Amino acid sequence: MRILDRAYRRLIMPTTASPEASIDGLHQERETRDALFRHLLHASPDGAIGVDRQGYIVMANPMMETLFGYTPEELIGQPMELVLPNRHRQSCQVRRQPPHPPMRSRPMAEMPSLTGRHKDGAVFPVAVSLGVPSEGQEGYAVAFIRDTSELRQHEEQLLHQSTHDGLTGLPNRTLIQERIGRALQRSRRNGLNVALLFVDLDDFRLVKGTYGHEVENLLLKTVASRLVEQVRPDDTVARLSGDEFVVFCEQIEQPTAMAGLAERINVALRRPIDFEDIPLYLTASVGIAIGHGSTHSVDDLLHHADTAMSAAKGKGRDSWQFFSDGLQTLTKQRLTISNGLRTAIENNELSPRFQPIVAAESGRIVGAELLLRWTPPEGEISPAVFIPIAEMMGTIVPIGAWVFRQACRAEVDWRRRWGESAPYVSVNVSTRQLNVASLAEDFAAILSETGANPARLILEITETSLMANVDANLRILSRLTDLGLRVAVDDFGTGYSSLAQLTRLPVNVLKIDRAFVDGIETSSESRAVVRAVISLGRALGLKLVAEGVETEAQHRELSASGCNFIQGYYFHRPLLESVFIDTVEGESRDHSQHIATSIYFLIYVSRAVQPMTAQDLDELLCKSRAFNRSAGLTGCLIHQDGYFMQMLEGEQKAVSSLMEKIKADPRHGQVRIVIEGPTRSRVFTDWGMAMRDLTEERNAPNFDGWQHRPISFLDLVDDARLCYSFITAYAHDGRVG
């Protein structure tokens, strides 16, 4: 169009002629210019029309038929609005100008955003360049017309790409900020609030790292779709970045309604997402900020909603939280703590404490859990405060490596002091650490550097962390156990692990959560859970540690249920390492306490003076269990054809006292002790008495013709090993009742 503009201006410029020029010469020059200009119009790639001063078309080039469907002949004599709608008539119609200083020519006026009308009635965007003759000139104006449909479509595509997320098609950060800004301006006029919900997916990195990019895209698009389903037509759902979404709502009369929306979002995102017949599960944390144009900016709303979302994550995830001034204060505190943690190691502000883990029977220290303490210049900060912040901000990774190195250093020192009888060291590993690909290599380097024995180190991982992504955790735990490290499931009983998943993991120890221990002496439900966990652990060949034991009643109940180890204030608080060492040294010097509380066992055989019915045996079992639980005794009673074989376990004084009562009991005759003495641990762990009546065995084969001489228990007393093997074989027999 610019080339034609320059050509048009040259052609319409009046020629300065001498007074002697002839009229014929002027006519010839004008005809030459007109012929040349018509040739240029004919060759133009754009549509071109000549329009007289009344607005009628006097000339049209062939391209006009391509653009508008009219032949040049059909256009000549028609008003210009035939191809340009009436609403543009004022801008495009050529009218005689009022008097003004003379002009030699007028440049072409660009009008790029007009609408053309095709012969069939269709309208489409056009750009028009209009050249108008100077005042006093004869001739016509020329309009060059170009179809801008593709250009307009391309511009719209570029605009959409710059304001929308390429994966989900949702508005992006740029567009949502613009919409929030306009909505805040409207809220000043209508007086109504606006609301912003910040939606962040929980543990999305785990899913992404496990299943890859294809599943990541599927999940994000599904989340976007589900969010759109929950909102009103005028609300906006946008994706900020990664797994962060926002929902923006205008004209909010009742802010509490946003709680209902947040709850619906939580419920919608909990629904499983199918990928190749595999159900995948997601949850989200939602932060809610309410604002008004007179008090809030766009950045205020985004920051407040983000702060509330972080609070929702901090209180357990898969939930929602309104923003408040208290949260703002808490956020500032978290920022201060987070910044302090980044330099805590180099400033020597971290220190370990060791809480002893004792054998349930003897109270003797067998291990210790390393607990972290942080003491910045302002004073000690509770682990309950700084550990979650370190986990959230990622500083737990270098801190966790520091803690593991302290555990290794302690193991080496304790083994040097006490040899193979030294307590083991238990150290916590966080969810964030499990996500670090180099965790096994980092721990291997620390083990090599310190010379620690990995078999004497236990990594404690919470049940919730383990079950968040079993397959990924199985891979990392396998690499850690290949180093020789052992694994404990911490806070067991509070998560949602299944037996099938638990058996897949290389676990050595279950730690019973203190929430169940706290009510074990008064709550039948807590007691049932603890006993179930202990039974499960024994069935899987795992050791059991009860946390948070603070009373004698709790200790006794746990011991009665067969728990192996105890940890809690009833025995020891977390100790400085120097105090821990002195405590262990004191135990080593005091052998008498260990000997007095060691386990003693006894096996005897007797004959029932009177025949025993099933009812008699039930009554005997009931009384024996009650007495043994009160006395801290365990064992097994077997009856066959009027003879008894019984094993008793417990403190020597209690075992010997009961044995004297049995000898004096007139219901027993021919009492013979088979074997007695100290033992390292109980065979039958539940305080009480297991029992089995072999007189009438169900589903037993027919022994007639095969049993040449009945042998009673009295016939076996001379073979202590045979008797021990016989009765202890029932220790894990589920049919013993």
- Structural domain includes residue 734: no
Question: What distance in Å separates the CA atoms of residue 220 and residue 235, rounded to the nearest whole number?
Answer: 19
pLDDT at 444: 96
Can you give the length of the chain in residues? 737
Backbone angles phi, psi at 437, to 5 degrees: -60, -30
Residue where one domain finishes, among candidates 153, 172, 207: 153
- Structural domain includes residue 330: no
| 512 touches 554 (CB < 8 A) | no
pLDDT at 287: 93
DSSP letter at 145 equals E
Q: What pLDDT digit, counting tens, does each position of 211-231 carry?
A: 778 888 999 999 999 999 999
Same structural domain for residues 342 and 278? no
Question: What distance in Å separates the CA atoms of residue 574 and residue 587, rounded to the nearest whole number?
Answer: 17
**Is 243 buried (19+), middle (13-18) or exposed (0-12) by CB count in 10 A?**
buried
Residue 98 has pLDDT above 50, yes or no: no
Produce one character per residue of 508-517: b if its CB has 16 or more CB atoms within 10 Å, e if not: bbbbbbbebb
Same structural domain for residues 342 and 296? no
| Residue indicated by tokens 């032949």 | 71
Residue 27 has pLDDT above 70, yes or no: no
Residue 4 has pLDDT above 60, yes or no: no
- Structural domain includes residue 558: yes
Same structural domain for residues 342 and 408? yes
- Structural domain includes residue 733: no
Task: Output 253 or 429, whichever has higher pLDDT.
Answer: 429
CATH number, residue 714 = 3.30.70.100
Q: What pLDDT digit, counting tens, does each position of 572-600 carry?
A: 999 999 999 999 998 887 754 554 457 89
Produce one character per residue of 709-727: b if its CB has 16 or more CB atoms within 10 Å, e if not: eeeebeebbeeeeebbebb
CATH number, residue 414 = 3.20.20.450
Same structural domain for residues 570 and 708? no
Q: Between vectors from CA 560 to CA 559 and to CA 561, what angle results, nearest 5°? A: 90
Same structural domain for residues 352 and 473? yes
Residue 23 has pLDDT above 70, yes or no: no
Question: What distance in Å separates the CA atoms of residue 296 and residue 72, rounded to the nearest whole number?
Answer: 61
- Structural domain includes residue 328: no
Same structural domain for residues 416 and 446? yes
Categorize the per-residue pLDDT at 47 as very low, low, confident or very high, splitting at 50, 70 and 90.
Answer: confident
Q: Between vectors from CA 707 to CA 703 and to CA 711, what angle results, nearest 5°? A: 120
pLDDT at 91: 45
What's the one-letter identity of residue 428? N
pLDDT at 695: 82
Residue 625 has pLDDT above 70, yes or no: yes
- Structural domain includes residue 447: yes
Same structural domain for residues 143 and 264? no
Q: What residues does 245 pair with on adjacent strands?
A: 199, 239
Q: What pLDDT digit, counting tens, does each position of 456-487 carry?
A: 999 999 887 777 777 888 899 999 999 999 99
Q: What pLDDT digit, counting tens, does each position of 680-723 carry?
A: 888 888 888 888 888 877 777 888 778 778 888 999 999 999 99
Q: What pLDDT digit, counting tens, does each position of 141-159 carry?
A: 888 888 888 777 777 777 7
pLDDT at 663: 93
The two three-digit tokens of residue 663, written as one number: 């000898």
What range does the domain containing 120 cover?
2-153
pLDDT at 332: 75
Helix axis angle for 298-314 and 383-393, nearest 10°, is 120
| 262 touches 286 (CB < 8 A) | yes
Same structural domain for residues 657 and 632? yes
**Is 734 buried (19+), middle (13-18) or exposed (0-12) by CB count in 10 A?**
exposed
Same structural domain for residues 504 and 424? yes
pLDDT at 452: 96
Number of domains in the chain: 4
Q: What is the mean pLDDT of the chain?
A: 84
Percent of the chain exceeding pLDDT 70 equals 86
Same structural domain for residues 228 and 361? no
Residue where one domain finishes, among candidates 278, 295, 323: 323
67: Cβ contacts below 8 Å, ≥ 6 apart: 47, 116, 118, 126, 145, 147
Q: Which of 109, 157, 150, 154 is nearest to 130 (CA)?
A: 109
Produce one character per residue of 213-233: b if its CB has 16 or more CB atoms within 10 Å, e if not: eebbeebbebbbebbeebbee
* Top-confidence range, 80-89, 93-102, 203-212, 477-486: 477-486
pLDDT at 523: 82
- Structural domain includes residue 220: yes
pLDDT at 486: 96
Task: Output 514 or 403, whichever has higher pLDDT.
Answer: 403
Residue 17 has pLDDT above 60, yes or no: no
Residue where one domain finishes, among candidates 273, 296, 323: 323
Sheet (strand 668-679) strand order:
668-679, 599-608, 643-651, 634-640, 690-693
- Structural domain includes residue 735: no
Same structural domain for residues 373 and 403? yes
Same structural domain for residues 365 and 407? yes
Instruction: Point out the least confidently predicted range of 36-45, 208-217, 253-262, 355-364.
Output: 36-45
Instruction: Return the SS3 of 63.
Output: helix
